[in-house]
Amino acid sequence: MVSPMKPLEIKTQCSGPRMDPKICPADPAFFSFINNSDLWVANIETGEERRLTFCHQGLSNVLDDPKS
């Protein structure tokens, strides 16, 4: 008999919603998600997370947004 799966909240340090989460097929201890237009990867077991991208705000003034 197969028991039903229950969702589990995974805590992260990011504020705001974690969009489009994906579990790594090679190692299910890792998952990725999008937060504020940036890609993050986290380890479910240790809670360690890394921001992989640093998207700019899209502001027209270079002084306000130097990554434009």
Compute the distance between CA of residue 23 and CA of residue 14 in angstroms, rounded to an integer.
18
Compute the distance between CA of residue 10 and CA of residue 45 in angstroms, rounded to an integer.
10
Measured between its terminal Cα atoms, the distance across the chain in Å is 55
pTM reported for the whole predicted model: 0.69
Q: Where are the beta strands (DSSP E) in the chain?
A: 19-23, 30-35, 38-43, 49-51
Domain count along the chain: 1
What is the per-residue pLDDT across 59-68, written as a single tens digit (0 to 9) for each? Answer: 556 566 655 4
Residue 14 lies in a domain: no
For residue 38, what are the β-bridge partners?
Answer: 35
Residue 64 lies in a domain: no
**pLDDT on residue 25:** 95
Compute the distance between CA of residue 52 and CA of residue 24 in angstroms, rounded to an integer.
15
Residue 34's domain comprises 19-51
What is the per-residue pLDDT across 23-64, written as a single tens digit (0 to 9) for each? Answer: 999 999 999 999 988 899 999 899 899 999 887 665 556 566
Does pLDDT of 20 surpass 80?
A: yes
**pLDDT on residue 12:** 74
